[in-house]
Structure 1
């Protein structure tokens, strides 16, 4: 006996809505009240309805318009993120996907919120954003959701989004803490954490994870330096802290700005502490190869951008979002991958 697959008519009947309304919701054409959207999604989940995506695309020749709001600056990771978006935009032209990029200063919550607040209904099918976790940004995301524009957060999360793509930053912090703990070989020590800003959920989670591991191993975690992901602040503050604080045996650099840290470490020579930082860029790769740092935790921005686009497309097609976790890589001097053709510093 063959079980009949549920049809769009079945979804409409279950949701108590017209066929045209259900079709509009599932094809992301907008103009439907949020309550009706919820009824359609509930009916889809109840029935287990699945569209033939290829047939739908061929019959409607649907196109998509997605926006990326990215941090600006000369940080290697942000440049790699922008390069990944540009590469995906080129690769997905055959899928009728248009990508628009807007940049705002890194960690500037108000500038990010202003960019999101400028969007109106029908502007795009979805927005991907490296979030700054402040009330204004959260309100801007909630407003877009009400307008029918789903928001996907990349790297750093915030409230109200439809999906998040990134590494598990709590686990990443624990991993960094474990590397530092192993390097100390049971001896006590003092570890200096450096963050960009506590408004970044990824920075908060990494710091929390590292502190959790190190606190149980007899290693003192010093108060974190906040450098706003700026190389000049990193150089000034890290240099001052190392000069004023005896016995620093480890540094965990949680965000960007490492182009200011490396010269400070080079000046310490053999006295430098054990160093773990994030993101493999040309600058951090060179420092790792020269033995100025010890380990890099990299989150693969190209993979994150691709998953972010997949998530926005799925949500635009009426499927649910959620959390998409990327597995980071740990690089030492001995296992560096082939050098990518990308520029920038971090």
Structure 2
């Protein structure tokens, strides 16, 4: 039986490429938290308050202790609740009530039950949801464009590398400069990207920022580091790696970043070399976990990766691959950039709706929606 973890809830969607499994006995022992289509699943640990609706693919699954299940009376109520959870109000509300360290911020189920939920008229909600769905359908098309572009690039790499047995063997250490990030994650309340940036502020990149990206690009992060030392900064188009049990993941940064502890930065001489190495890592993701150590294989070893051998193609092969790859990557990044604009539009629609349509009724509307909340060791109660 599948298990939804907090890491599977990303950007308002459920993404579980490598699902965790539990036994039927464990599933039956926690039948109250079995997932149904339309349930809202909410992160309780880490990115508290992030939420996604369960689709048919996840019907019958269960949830980890890090996830709460909210069940509503109907489809529109669930869709409205998901939008409400995406609002800045709810994110701030959850953040204020979360406890623990910045890496393990935890929201208690009891606190979550106290979340106020505005209840506009059914007609107003229907109108908003119709508009939001149109925006999100376009965003889904863009995601598919980006994913297809990446699949084509991976297929092109496999075709090029198929006859590479005669290429000379080189190690990652010979071909690149490798260094481990050593900065600890800054306090989340020390600087937020929505506030004016310090003169020398820089996005901080954690292993989670690498691992939760379905596509190998990072253009923004949630935490900023004020006045980092110049030698700590990775320039754009660096290759940044992190590991977990399902493999080693790599991203290219679109902006300069400061890699945190657990992130390995790989610097190649040319962009053509970087593209080839990116797809080398993607194609050998599971195999490269041999270069990881620590609990769950989550910490890459710079020395072990530097000694790892690959077959290195000739310059004409790398340049030919890069010429086509660059176009595909550009198309994928263009689609994702459009989604950034559409996401702001969706958030703006919600903000305007809450300020206008709810407006003066907000004080009266801070009631309880017809929903039930379930989670590990939770009792049935109204949210």
TM surpasses 0.5: no
TM-score range, shorter chain: under 0.3
